[in-house]
Amino acid sequence: MAALLLAAIGLAAGLAYVAGWTAARRFAPPPGTTQHSLPSYHGAFVAIWVGVPALALALVWAALQGHVIDAALLRSLPASLTEGRTEAALGLTLAEIHNVAEGRIFVPPAPEVVEAAERLNRWRGIARAALAALTLATMLGGFALARARLAPRFRARHAVERALTGFMIACALVAILTTAGIVVSLLSEAMAFFRLVPPTEFFFGLRWEPQIAMRADQIAGAGAFGAVPVFVGTLLIAAIAMAVAVPIGIYTAIYLVEYASDRVRAWVKPLLEILAGVPTVVYGFFAVLTVAPAIRSAGTLLGLATSPNSALAAGLVMGIMIIPFVSSLSDDALRAVPRALRDGSLAMGATRAETVTRVLLPAALPGIMGGVLLALSRAIGETMIVVMAAGLIASMSINPLDSVTTVTVQIVTLLVGDTAFDNPKTLAAFALGLVLFAVTLVLNIVALAIVRRFREQYE
Amino acid sequence: MTPDVAEPAEVALRAPAEIAALRRRRYAAERRLRLAGIAAISLALGLLGLLVVTLVVGGWPAFTQTKVRVDFPVERALVDPADPAAGNFRKVVQLGVAGLFPEATTPQELRAAGKILTPGTQFLLRNAVIADPSLVGRTLTLKVPAADPYDQLAKGLVDRATPEDRRRLSDADIARFDRLVAEGRVSRPFNTALFVNPDSRFPETAGLAGAMVGSALALLVCFALSFPVGIATAIYLEEFARKNRTSDVIEVNINNLAAVPSIVFGLLGLAVFIQTFGLPRSAPLVGGMVLALMTLPTIIIVTRNALRAVPPSIREAGFGVGASRHQVVLHHVLPLALPGILTGTIIGLAQALGETAPLLLVGMNAFLTSTPGGLTEAATALPTQIFLWADSPERGFVSRTSAAILVLLGFLIVMNGVAVLLRRRLERTW
C-alpha cells in the first residue's frame, strides 16, 4: 500500500514535469522580452507542486492513522470491555482486536472483540480510500495552481532553487535534530528514572542489582541502583585498554615517522587501519574464544584466581582495537611538528632518539594527548567487546583478573528483550546512557579543542 | 637541554674514554627506541595475524558439512500422495535408520542410531516429498546432514582418546558412525546450507540467509536516507551557508555526532523510533534508520572534503558564463566531486554493516527461522547473527560463528576494495 502510493506520487510528479516542460516549450515570449527560465525549470516547478504536498500529506497520514483509529476504536468499545480497566489491559484488548482483524486467531474471541475487529477493518478501508482521494485532490490542486502560474516571464528557476535550498536546510537540520533527539530522549527517560530512584543513590550508591526490580509489585524499594561499581568497572577496562594501546600506538607512530622507509610505511599503515575496520563483534568473539581462555590458563599456571570473563581479557582486546586510533593521531601530531625544530635538534648533534624524546614528543604532546582522549572516549563507549567478554555482575573491584561490568554492558542487558518503559530497570539504562553520552561528549570536545589549538600553534 | 648549553666548559673537559662511553650509551638508547618501535609494530600486526588465523582455522571446517546418504522408504501407508504434508515422516525416518543398521533391533539402539541424522531430517523429507509427490511409494535416497556431534567427529574435532564418560558420543555411537564411513555413506560436500538456510536451533542446518537479507535491507534503508540527506547537508554547508552562528552550531554538531558511541544511537532508536513513533521492533526499517543517523556524519564529512577538493576555477568559470549558484553546484561541482563522495559513502556503509550494538537495542537479534520478507518484518543482521551464534552453547556454532565472521569480513573487504578501486579509477588531482 505504502509502496504503491509512493510510486503513484512519483509517477504523477514525473507526468507533471513533462506537462510543465511542454507548456514552457510552447511559450512565445512577448516581443522585446525573452523567456526567463528554461523549460526544465518550469517542469520541475510543476513537479514540486504536485509531488511535495502529496508526499507530506501521505507521511503525516501514515504517522497519525494508527493512533487515531486506535483511539476511536477504544471509545467505541462497549463498557463491559473498558470499565475500570488499566491502560495496559486496554492495550492487550487492542492488540487482540488487531490480531483478530488480521486473521490471526489464537483463542476464540469474544463477540465484542469480533465486532470491534470488523469495525477496525471497515475503518481501515475508509481511511485507505480517504487517503487515496485526498492525495489525488492535493496533486490535482497543486497541478492546477502551478500550471496557472507558468508564463514566459515567470521566474520558475528562482522558485525551484528556493525549494532546493529549503530542502538542503531541512537536511542540515537533521544533524541538529539527531543531537536534540538524543539529548531529549536520554534526559526525559533519565528524569523518569530519577523520580523513582534518587540521583544520590545512583551516583554514589555502591550496590548495583537491577535484576531484582523485575519482579512485579516491587518497583519501590527493591533492586539497588548504585552505579559506582559500574563506573569503576568501566574505568578499569578502559584503563587496561589504554595501557595496551597508548605505548604500542605511540611507539608505532614514532617508528613510522622517524625510522620507517616509505615502503614499510606504505605497508604498515593500511594494515594497522584494518585493526580499526574490523567489526567490534569480531573482537568480542576473539576475546571470548582465544584471549580469555589463554589468560585463564596462564592465571591458573601462576596460581592466581582468574575469572573466566576477566576484565583483563576484555581490556586487552579493546586495547588492540584502539591501537590504530592512537597511532594515527600521534603520527599526525608528530608530523605536524615543524621541520625546523627537528633539523635544529639534529644539527646540534642529537641522535634521532634524543630528537624524538626531547624535541618532537614535547612539541607534539598536546596533539598526542588529544588522540589519547579520543581513544579513551572510544574505549568507554565501546560495547560489543565488553558485552561478550566482560561480566554481568557489578562487583566493586580493581583487580584486572576479576569479572567486572561496564556501563555499556548494563545498557544492553537491561534493554535487550521485552522492554516496558515504566520500571526502573529499563529506565536505568537511559540514565546510564545519559552519563555515557555526557562523558564521551566532554572527552571529545576537550580532545578536539586540544588538537585544534595544537594545530593552530604551528600553522 | 638548556643546562647543558649553559655550562659548556664541563662537557669540554671530559676525557676521551668518557666521551666514547657516553656516545655508546646514546647510540644504545637510539637502538632501543628503534627496537621498541619495531616491537610495537610487530606486536600490533602479530595480533592482527593471530586474529585472522584464529578465525580462518576456526571457521574453515564450517564451510563443509558431513552428510550421510540414507535410503528412505516412503511407504504409501505412511504418506498419503493426495496430502503429503500430513504424512508420518517421523516413521519414514525411523525406517530409513533401521535400514542403515539392520542389526539394531531394540528401540533404544534405534533411537541412538537415529541421532546420527539431524533432528530436522523429517522436515527435509517432507519438503522433498511435497515438491515431488510421485516419490510416494518409492525409496528416496537423500544426503542428510549429520547431527552436530557426528559432524565434529567426522571433521576430527573430537578426540577419540578422551575417556568415554567425558565425550558426547559413546563408543557404540562412534562404532556405528565408523561403519557408515566404511560403507561409503558419509561425504563432506561444501556447506551450501550456510548460505541458503535461515537460522536454526541445530548447527548443522543453521545458515546466514536470513541475516544476509536483513543486513541488505537495513543497508538499503541506511543508504536511501543517509546518502541524499548527507550530500544535501554537505552542499548546503560548503557552498551556500553563510559563516555565522547557525552554520557553526551545525558543524560542531556533526563533528560531535561522529564521535558519539554507537550504543547511544541505539538508545535514540529505541526511545524515538520504536517507543514514540510506534515503528515495529526488530525491523530492518528501524535498524536502517538508526544506522543512517550513524552514517550521516561520515557522509557529510567526506562529501565536504570532496567538494572542497574541486578547484574554485571551476565555479568561477560557471559563474562567468552566467550560471546561477545552484546550476554551478549541481551541473559542475557535484559531478566532479561524485567519485570522492561515492568512495566515502561505500566506506561509511561498510562501517554500518559491521555495527552491532545499536541493532541489539532495536531488537534485531531475534531468533528467526525464516528470511525477512520486507522492511517492517522482524529480521536479524550479519553482526547480530554472529553475536547470537557466539552465545549458543552447541559446539558446532563455534566454527559456524567463525565462518559467519569470515563471510562478514568478506563483504567488508569487497566493499572497501570497491571503494579503493573507485578512488584509483575516478579520482583526479587538480
pLDDT single digits (tens) A394-441 = 888 888 888 899 999 999 988 876 666 667 788 889 999 999 999 999
Beta carbons of B267 and A63 less than 8 Å apart: no
Pick from B398, B411, B390: nearest CA to B58: B398
Cell (9 digits) for A202: 545512583
**Which residue type occupies A201?**
E
Kindly tell me if the per-residue pLDDT of B188 is higher than 80.
Answer: yes
Which of A:304-343 have CB within 8 Å of B? 320, 323, 327
**Residue A45 · residue A32 · CB < 8 Å:** no
For residue range B11-58, what is the model confidence (pLDDT) as tens digits? 567 788 888 999 999 999 999 999 999 999 999 999 999 999 999 998
Contacts of B271 in chain A (CB under 8 A): 185-186, 189, 430
- Contact assignment for A259 to B37 by CB distance below 8 Å: yes
- pLDDT tens sequence across B370-401: 888 888 888 999 999 999 999 888 888 989 99
Scanning A28-67 for CB atoms below 8 A from B yields 63, 66-67
List CB contacts (< 8 A) between A185 and chain B. Answer: 267-268, 271-272, 276
* Sign of the four-CA dihedral A283, A288, A289, A295: positive
Helices (H), A337-383: 339-347, 352-355, 361-381
User: A314: burial class by Cβ within 10 Å (0-12, 13-18, 19+)?
Assistant: buried
Q: Give all strands of the β-sheet with B186-187 in edge-to-edge order.
A: B139-145, B67-73, B186-187
The whole-number pLDDT of residue A375 equals 93
Chain B: residue nearest A386 by CA?
Answer: B357
Q: What is the pLDDT along chain A (459 residues), one digit of tens a residue?
A: 678 888 999 999 999 999 999 998 888 777 878 888 888 999 999 999 999 999 999 988 887 887 888 888 888 877 777 776 677 777 777 778 888 887 777 777 778 788 888 888 888 889 989 999 999 999 999 999 998 888 888 899 999 999 999 999 999 998 889 999 999 999 998 998 898 888 888 899 888 887 644 445 544 445 688 889 999 999 999 999 999 999 999 999 999 999 999 999 999 998 998 898 899 999 999 999 899 999 999 988 988 888 888 899 999 999 999 999 999 999 999 998 899 999 999 999 999 999 999 999 999 998 899 999 999 999 999 999 999 998 888 888 888 888 899 999 999 988 876 666 667 788 889 999 999 999 999 999 898 888 888 777 776
What residues in B contact A421, CB-CB < 8 Å? 275
How many angstroms separate the CA of residue B213 from the nearest CA in chain A? 19
CA–CA dist A413, A421 (Å, integer)? 15
d(CA A395, CA A229) in angstroms, rounded, equals: 6
**Cα–Cα distance, A386 to A410 (Å, whole number):** 10
DSSP β-bridge partners for residue B117? B146
Query: What's the distance, Cα to Cα, between the start and end of chain B in Å?
Result: 45
Contacts of A73 (CB under 8 A, 6+ apart): A94, A97, A116, A119, A120, A123
CA distance A260 to A269: 11
SS3 content of chain B, % helix, strand, coil (to 5): 70, 5, 25
Whether residue B8 has pLDDT greater than 80: no
Determine, for residues A186 and B264 on separate chains, whether the beta-carbon distance falls below 8 Å. yes
Query: What is the reported pLDDT for B350?
Result: 94
pLDDT of residue B6: 54
Instruction: Choose among A382, A415, A441: nearest Cβ to B256.
Output: A441
Q: In a 10 Å sphere around its CB, with 0-12 CB exposed, 13-18 middle and 19+ buried, how is residue A245 labelled?
A: buried
For B257, residues 6+ apart whose C-beta sits below 8 A from its C-beta are A175, A178, A179, B293, B296, B297
Partner-chain residue, chosen from A63, A388, A444, that has the shortest CB–CB distance to B390: A388
Burial class of residue B340, CB neighbours in 10 A (0-12, 13-18, 19+): buried
